[in-house]
Structure 1
């Protein structure tokens, strides 16, 4: 049985009204009526994914990466292992079979994680962007805690969700624009992103959501785990505050139907514009191909990304697409 977690309580700010968080440049999440409209209107419009779409790759990461190098391993969906400055950092780790409050229902994996859980190196830090089940996976966080006891850095309120479920999770909660030192060479800043969060029907936006700017010896990485595009202001502001950016990790999936998803998820065309807005040297795509959350085909995001890059005159190699288990090194 689901039980309600505690919710964040704090002073009113320009993005917290005393009860709920909000994006001054965003829009509220869709209503329950709109959710039902999408669900009842999708017959025949939802593409059928293959029951299993395995990757040909599986990573066996090193114990750690010292010096100035940065090693990024794609685990799948929005999950990454980033190794740099002697730290092993996981982004939105999900090793569960389903992204759902239930073990028996909800979106199911279509491929294995790119790194077997048993093959993980010692994890020092976990960054969790927000509370949606495809990003904040309590089962995975508990397994990581039992094995490695990492620091878990997350936006305000999500720490309560974690600790209520497992008091041993070492969750630390921060606000937008807070900078967190991870060691002498690596730090992370939480930055605004155009999204929202909830774990159930009655806790919408009672926790905060964020993207991350990760400072590494090889430059800054802009990690956008979930975001709509809007006017692009969020991406341009990150460029103004944190440029130069060596790499942006940008979502390209879970975008159809557009009338419903536009405000919370970018499509590939939006992602290409976001790359131009933030000014990163290169980008990597994610948030596609593992869990079917929306209506587009499993391969549609990659085809649409290539078309958008070609139309914008941007070389395809500037915006890479990995399969789970593939690795990029800077």
Structure 2
């Protein structure tokens, strides 16, 4: 069983709307951007999205594999961890995925833990979660635990920002993000959203806009080796700026949290916005180079590609 640093169950607020740093999109704005095609990218470059399908990596040490979108398979200090696992071909509201998962479900090793950043459908996928053993430890945002316990999961740890838990030798710290949560018409901001710092070395951002909470993470965790940063789903900018970073902001966010390396994610899997398919990683490379940062420290991984992380 995972262990939190708290001794008693905390009292959670009924809503986390007071933590929003940008107003949520109004219905008329969502209708307008959809009507004018702002969320429909041209997928003509789909065959240029790099995909590797080689099964699970055999390397030792800390290994990072991009499965696709916000899903990573991490091997950290003896544990195998999934971030925001999505293996479904289709999620509600968007066309089916452009690229297959970089690791087939049948090739997965035993999963020791799962971390969830928030409850949006592209980060919390019910069909994928149902495929996991009910004994799998789940680390989730505050007020999202019941979603898992209702589905039979027995080891569920829900955390507020800056709360911490451990499993084996690995720490799991839930950290702030500039985002929001909603899964139905009735649960807007009733569960929290955020990122995870895993083993004090890997920062998984989930979804976030750019803002001061990123520097706060860097202040509290001064020895981060790698930031897993979203670089896609940012156009039209007037619509997404309060919820998603664009590629230059992702690079700045990596610098703010103080991570030496950045791995790109949240592009090339689902069409969630209006930018060209390959633009997120191209602009991330340009922003990285413009900062004079070592090219080897930008992990613009192919779907299914793995890297070994050295401190």
- Aligned residue in 1 for 2:103: 115
Answer 1 or 2: higher relative contact order, Cα 8 Å, separation at least 6: 2
Looking at structure 2, the residues matched to 56 and 246 of structure 1 have their Cα atoms a distance apart, in angstroms, of 25
SS at structure 2 position matched to 1:235: helix
Pair 1:143 & 2:135 matched: no
- Aligned residue in 1 for 2:118: 130
Deviation at 1:178, TM superposition (A): 1.1
Deviation at 1:51, TM superposition (A): 8.8
Pairs aligned (count): 300
Instruction: Specify every segment of 5 or more residues in structure 1 that has no aligned partner in the other structure, as ranges.
Output: 1-9, 13-17
Segment drifting more, 121-130 vs 194-203:
194-203
| Structure 1 residue corresponding to 2:65, chosen from 59, 63, 73 | 73
- Aligned residue in 1 for 2:268: 289
Segment drifting more, 54-63 vs 125-134:
54-63
- Aligned residue in 1 for 2:198: 214
Deviation at 1:283, TM superposition (A): 0.9
Segment drifting more, 304-313 vs 244-253:
304-313
User: Could you give the per-residue CA deviations for residues 208-263 of structure 1, whole angstroms, max 9, x where no partner exists?
Assistant: 11100111xxx611110110003xx1111111111111111111000000000001
Looking at structure 1, the residues matched to 148 and 276 of structure 2 have their Cα atoms a distance apart, in angstroms, of 33
Deviation at 1:325, TM superposition (A): 0.9
TM-score, length-scaled by structure 2: 0.90
Equivalent pair of 1:59/1:73 in contact (CA under 8 Å): no
Equivalent pair of 2:263/2:300 in contact (CA under 8 Å): yes
- The 3 A distance-change label for structure 1 pair 31 and 163 is farther
Deviation at 1:25, TM superposition (A): 6.5
Pair 1:174 & 2:174 matched: no
Looking at structure 2, the residues matched to 52 and 280 of structure 1 have their Cα atoms a distance apart, in angstroms, of 30
Pair 1:187 & 2:135 matched: no
- Aligned residue in 2 for 1:26: 21
- The 3 A distance-change label for structure 1 pair 55 and 304 is closer
Looking at structure 1, the residues matched to 253 and 122 of structure 2 have their Cα atoms a distance apart, in angstroms, of 22
| Structure 2 residue corresponding to 1:199, chosen from 169, 176, 183 | 183
Q: CA RMSD in A?
A: 2.2
Looking at structure 2, the residues matched to 150 and 298 of structure 1 have their Cα atoms a distance apart, in angstroms, of 34
Deviation at 1:161, TM superposition (A): 2.3
Looking at structure 2, the residues matched to 138 and 162 of structure 1 have their Cα atoms a distance apart, in angstroms, of 10
Equivalent pair of 1:64/1:121 in contact (CA under 8 Å): no
- The 3 A distance-change label for structure 1 pair 299 and 326 is same
